[in-house]
Amino acid sequence: MKANSQRVKGKNFRPLHGKPLFRWILDTLLAVEEIDEVVINTDARHILAENGLVETDRVRIRDRQPELCGDTVSMNLILADDLAAVEADTYLMTHTTNPLLTPQTIRSALTQYQDGVAKGEADSLFTVNKIQTRFYRGDASPVNHDPDNLIQTQDLEPWYEENSNLYIFSRDSFAKTNARIGKQPLLHEMDKMEASDIDTPEDWDLAAALAGMRMAKEAAE
């Protein structure tokens, strides 16, 4: 969790419907009983404290190493630092910028991952958006369809977009690739309304609108 952000200034601590953005995903993670500890890797411990967040029996705040600060540092290097300091059988990684991720999706992904590992069919998992639409290159040449034989988009081969919402892996799988995605990853398809990832001001506006819709629906139930 960085203090500064390039495209949406201070987004991790900016209020979203009455609470700072980081609080959305933190509250979600703490609502999942299967998660023993939430580790926050940050260069902004003081800002978290100003927002009322301190360490508890389930929340650990790790100060990001100076050499790992900055906008161009690979997240896999930050994860490697966390793995070296935090012992666990299973690691689950998400971002402050995924405010609409639900406990239900996290539990479902954990179950899929655990089943895949138990069967020897997987060593990691990441969430995706399923996309079935017509793609073109910059020169207007088709990528995944025949313009002379237009079929329904729902009949096109599905493509899967890594949506940066959730990654699950083990220490062993990380060691094989030095990355959060191992050699035998599972794809966990998410509802696009839930898979919001805030990178731009437009993303923020969309997430705020979707969060408002969710809150209104929950209030009416």
In total, how many domains does the chain have? 1
- Residue 99's Cβ-side half-sphere holds a number of Cα atoms within 13 Å equal to 28
- Residue 111's Cβ-side half-sphere holds a number of Cα atoms within 13 Å equal to 7
pLDDT at 122 over 80: yes
**Structural domain includes residue 34:** yes
DSSP state of 35: -
pLDDT at 72 over 90: no
* Per-position DSSP letters for 134-162, written without gaps between them: --B-TTS-BSSS-TTS---GGGSPPEEEE
Q: What is the pLDDT of residue 50?
A: 94
Mean pLDDT along residues 24-31 = 98
Taking all residues of the chain, what is their mean pLDDT, rounded to a whole number? 95
Angle between helices 103-118 and 21-30 (to 10 degrees): 50
**Structural domain includes residue 4:** no
pLDDT at 9 over 90: no
**Structural domain includes residue 6:** no
Q: What is the CATH number of the domain that holds 174?
A: 3.90.550.10
**Structural domain includes residue 5:** no
Q: 134 burial class (0-12, 13-18, 19+ CB within 10 angstroms)?
A: middle
Residue 179 contacts residue 118 (beta carbons within 8 Å)? no
Task: For residue 24, give the nearest of 192, 220, 204 by alpha carbon.
Answer: 204
Counts for the chain of helices (H) and strands (E), in that order: 6, 8
pLDDT at 150 over 90: yes
> Which of the two residues, 10 and 101, has the higher pLDDT score?
101
Q: What is the pLDDT of residue 7?
A: 76
Look-up: residue for tokens 């990832």?
197
202 band by pLDDT with thresholds 50, 70 and 90: very high
Q: What is the pLDDT of residue 3?
A: 86
**Structural domain includes residue 60:** yes
**Structural domain includes residue 25:** yes
Backbone dihedral angles phi then psi of residue 42, each to the nearest 5 degrees: -150, 155
**Structural domain includes residue 126:** yes
Q: What is the pLDDT of residue 8?
A: 87
**Structural domain includes residue 3:** no
Condensed to tens digits (0 to 9), the pLDDT of residues 180-191 reads 999 999 999 999
Q: pLDDT > 90: what percent of the chain?
A: 93
pLDDT at 200 over 80: yes
Q: Tokens in use for 107?
A: 């539990």
Condensed to tens digits (0 to 9), the pLDDT of residues 162-179 reads 999 999 999 999 999 999
Query: How much is the CA Rg of the chain, to the nearest whole Å?
Result: 19
pLDDT at 6 over 90: no
Condensed to tens digits (0 to 9), the pLDDT of residues 127-146 reads 999 999 999 999 999 999 99
pTM above 0.85, yes or no: yes
Non-local CB neighbours of 219 within 8 Å, separated by 6+ positions = none
Full residue range of the structural domain in which residue 74 is found? 11-220
CA angle 143, 122, 68 (to 5 degrees): 80
